[in-house]
Amino acid sequence: MTLQPALFANDIDRYLKEHESKGLLRFITCGSVDDGKSTLIGRLLHDSRMIREDQLAAVTRDSRLRGSVGGQVDLALLVDGLQAEREQGITIDVAYRFFSTDKRKFIIADTPGHEQYTRNMATGASTASLAVILIDARYGVQLQTRRHSFICDLLGIRHFMIAVNKMDLVDYSEARFQEIVADYRDFADGLNVTDVRFLPISALNGDNVVNPSSDMRWFDGAPLLTQLEQIEILAVQNLHELRFPVQYVNRPNLHFRGYCGTLAAGAVEVGTEIRVEPSGQRSSVARIVTNDGDLNVAYPGQSVTLTLHDEIDISRGDTLVAANSDIEPCTAFTADVVWMHETPLMLGQEYEIKAGTRIVPGRVVRIVYQVDVNTMARSATDTLGLNGIARCQIEVTQPLVLDSYQRSPETGNFIFIDKLSNLTVGAGMVVDALNVGHIVWHDMAVTKRRRAERNRQKPSIIWFTGLSGAGKSTVADALERQLFGMGYNTYLLDGDNVRHGLCRDLGFSDEDRQENIRRIGEVARLMVDAGMVTLVSFISPFRDDRRMIRNLVEDGEFIEVFVNTPLAVCEQRDPKGLYRKARRGEISQFTGISSPYEAPESPEVEIDTSAYDLEETVGRLIAALRRHRII
């Protein structure tokens, strides 16, 4: 008897008082229909008096119609779900079941056991702290037993209860039971789980489910339900490693700024010195606010609102950690990934990655190995299909605060979201966050494309050509400031900053001018390779020179901007007095005076700085860059 009818009948107030202090245990049941999983769950619900009369009546009626257990009420029917599944006789999703005893409230994640439902099992296991794994006593440890155990272990479940079911069909044989226990122990040596318990049961008859079995007196353990009520769940949280992902900034009025979130790990106290990641700002906790009054200390799992002593800029997606914590946000990590969609995981494809309260673009750059869920054998692959499990190297474009999943599950998990369909296509558990200290693992080539993708821009050369005094440098400088402000990574090369360093050794002979432009072109090309939007301001009077540079980079990466300001205007401006010197013959071969300027035949953009002011000119350039898909 697991609920106390006498108590709630006679002293409901005392009953309620006692039940307010119950704990909650989530567990997953693994096994196929054939193992008697549904029957076991039905039995737990039934024998713990959680079945309502109307449900029981329906099941009794259906049992007669189906006749699947010869006259007995088929308790498995209690847990059948959607109509379609009932017709097919299988379960194809995660169903959550609820029951309570005097000791605990239980939530069962009821998942199907076949290999094609690995993703469902991973989903169910993600929130469970215990797994009930069913084995048919007649068949012993099967391939699927290994699969179920492996997935539960991978998802970090620390407690396994191996329920050897259908003991009635092997004459309640202790020898058979011990044989299965030995087999399982051999295999489980390779898992992380440390608490493995074995029970001989018959879900159909109720042996060792809620009540002890009179047919198996040789078993001295407690029945399944008693064990579920009593087992002490290992707390995985490390209370010293504060992790508070900011979920929502609460600003109801000018006098209150609170950071709402659910404490993922560690404890936080009033006065705790904190650091904000990834910004690195510091402050300390002023209040721990709840609607039921302020707290002095909050623990993992509590949803609270923190206020800080300092006004600093914090937003959703930031994580508060202890001020002296040595955690570093990372942009690369290894993780075990479970793929959950028919469309396979593609190397290098960008997905949204949601970890905690942060969503960032990221990609799998390498699959270290794929694991066969049945044999745990590892193999090489470069794609991961539905229900595949693999260890992967992942890169994200913005830093995440991640812990190893085994150490801190709540800050070591994440999901993949497809950018087009918005579906959740995968889930991952962090193995190792890769910090600056040990980046030795990179073996996927860092290419121009990958750098450009991380910079989220199209690298290019924006080449300003035109007469001296045409306004090239002024316009290029203004454009760079504009682009930089828009979030692009830019660099401006102009004739002067190059001449003073890179080309200091060059003079003004034809040969040296040729070498000068070659060097500028090569530097610009390297900048493009580095993923930059590169602006070059350089008279470059000869078409052949400009064509040579255009040919250094790929189609579409060279944007020629012809700064076509009339010579008369340039000469009038004469900012460096060069035209005057040239007219006086003090400078020979001066472009436009004593040396030709070969105007571009089909520049991507043409501007005249005497016709428009600077702001409008930059506006026209931005529009042109959009047209050419540079930005």
Partner 1 sequence: MREFTIRALTHLRQLEAESIQIIREVAAEFRNPVMLYSIGKNSSVMLHLARKAFYPGTPPFPLLHVATTWEFREMRAFRDRVAAQVGMELIEHVNEEGRATGINPFDHGSARYTDLMKTQALKQALDKYGFDAAFGGARRDEGASRAKERVYSFRDKHHRWDARQQRPELWSLYNGKLNPGESIRVFPLSNWAELDIWQYIHLESIAIVPLYYAAPRPTVVRDGRLIMVDDARFPLAADEVPQERWVRFRTLGCYPLTSAIESRATTLPAIIQEMLLARTGERFGPVVDHGGVGPVEQKAREGYVR
Active-site residues, by number, are: 540
- Near partner 1 in 23-82, by CB under 8 A: 23-24, 52-55, 79-82
Is residue 514 a contact residue for partner 1 (CB under 8 A)? no
Q: Which stretch binds partner 1 (CB under 8 A): 3-11, 189-197, 381-389, 546-554?
A: 3-11
Residue 98 Cα distances to 2, 26, 109, 257, 629, angstroms: 14, 9, 9, 38, 56
The bridge status of strand 268-269 relative to strand 351-355 is unpaired
- Give the other-Cβ count within 10 Å of 525's Cβ: 18
Half-sphere exposure of 87 (CA within 13 A, CB side): 3
Least Å from the CB of residue 499 to partner 1? 51
508 binds partner 1 (CB under 8 A): no
Q: What angle do CA 94, 96, 101 make, to 5 degrees?
A: 150
Shortest distance, position 174 Cβ to partner 1, whole Å:
36
- Segment (H or E) for 339: strand 330-339
| The one among 48, 213, 408, 413 contacting partner 1 by CB under 8 A | 413
- Given candidates 1, 5, 446, 619, which one binds partner 1 under the rule CB under 8 A? 5
Kindly indicate which of the ranges 130-138, 208-216, 243-251, 542-550 contains the residues binding partner 1, using the contact rule CB under 8 A: 243-251
Q: Where does 89-133 have alpha helices with state H?
A: 118-126
Which residues ranging from 535 to 574 are in contact with partner 1 (CB under 8 A)? none
The verdict on whether omega for the bond into residue 278 sits within 30 degrees of 0, i.e. cis, is yes
357 or 617: CB nearest partner 1: 357
Q: Which of 389, 427, 524, 605 binds partner 1 (CB under 8 A)?
A: 427
Nearest to 142, CA basis, from 123, 164, 160, 120: 164
Write out the binding residues for partner 1, residues 100-139 only, by CB under 8 A.
100, 104-105, 107, 110, 119-120, 122-123, 126-127
For the range 542-548, what are the long-range contacts, defined as Cβ-Cβ under 8 Å and sequence gap of 24 or more? 542/598, 543/598, 543/600, 543/601, 545/514, 545/517, 545/521, 546/463, 546/465, 546/600, 548/517, 548/518, 548/521
Contacting partner 1 within 458-497 (CB under 8 A): none
Please identify, using beta-carbon distances, which residue of 249 and 478 lies nearer to partner 1. Answer: 249
CB of 93 to partner 1, least distance (A): 5
Instruction: Quote the tokens at residue 457.
Output: 């821009």
> Considering only 134-142, 250-258, 456-464, 472-480, which stretch makes contact with partner 1 by CB under 8 A?
250-258
Q: Is 2 in the site for partner 1 (CB under 8 A)?
A: no
Of 376, 456, 432, 464, residue with least CA distance to 151: 376
Task: Find the part of the chain contacting partner 1 (CB under 8 A) among 11-19, 390-398, 442-450, 506-514.
Answer: 11-19
352 part of the interface to partner 1, by CB under 8 A: yes
Q: Smaller CB distance to partner 1: residue 14 or 580? A: 14
Rounded CA separation 559/457 (Å): 15
In the list 62, 93, 372, 598, the residue contacting partner 1 (rule: CB under 8 A) is 93
> Which residues inside 356-375 make contact with partner 1, applying CB under 8 A?
357
Question: CB of 30 within 8 A of CB of 146?
Answer: no
Number of residues counted as binding partner 1 (CB under 8 A)? 84
Residue from 6, 143, 175, 235 binding partner 1 (CB under 8 A): 235
CB closer to partner 1 out of 267 and 621: 267
Q: Which is nearer to partner 1, 357 or 393 (CB)?
A: 357
Residue 182 in contact with partner 1, rule: CB under 8 A: no
Choose the stretch contacting partner 1; rule: CB under 8 A; options: 6-14, 188-196, 433-441, 447-455. 6-14
Q: Nearest to residue 561, comparing CAs of 448, 425, 466?
A: 466
Neighbours of 291 (CB within 10 A): 5
User: x/- contact string, 294-333, with partner 1 (CB under 8 A)?
Assistant: ---x-xxxxx-x----------x-----------------
Task: Report in angstroms how near the CB of residue 382 gets to partner 1 at its nearest.
Answer: 24
| Angle, helices 510-529/543-552, rounded to nearest 10 degrees | 30
Q: Specify the 3-state DSSP secondary structure of 609.
A: coil
DSSP 437: G
Q: How far is the CB of 266 from partner 1 (least distance, A)?
A: 9
Interface of this chain with partner 1, residues 186 to 205, rule: CB under 8 A: none
Q: In the complex with partner 1, which residue's Cβ is closer, 126 or 208?
A: 126
Rule CB under 8 A: say whether 237 interacts with partner 1. yes
Distance of CA 241 to the CA centre of its chain: 20
Residue 443 binds partner 1, judged by CB under 8 A: no
Q: Should residue 1 be labelled a site residue for partner 1 when binding is judged by CB under 8 A?
A: no
380 binds partner 1 (CB under 8 A): no
Q: Whose structure tokens read 């602006």?
A: 535
Distance CA 351, CA 424 (A): 10
Structure tokens at 192: 């992380």
State which of positions 140-169 bind partner 1 (CB under 8 A). Answer: none
Q: Which two tokens stand for residue 22?
A: 């119950």
Is residue 270 within the footprint of partner 1 (CB under 8 A)? Answer: no
Q: Are strands 345-346 and 351-355 parallel, antiparallel or unpaired?
A: unpaired
User: What are the φ/ψ torsions at residue 303 (nearest 5 degrees)?
Assistant: -95, 115
**Whether 66 contacts 38, CB under 8 Å:** no
Name the residue nearer to partner 1 (CB basis): 254 or 439: 254
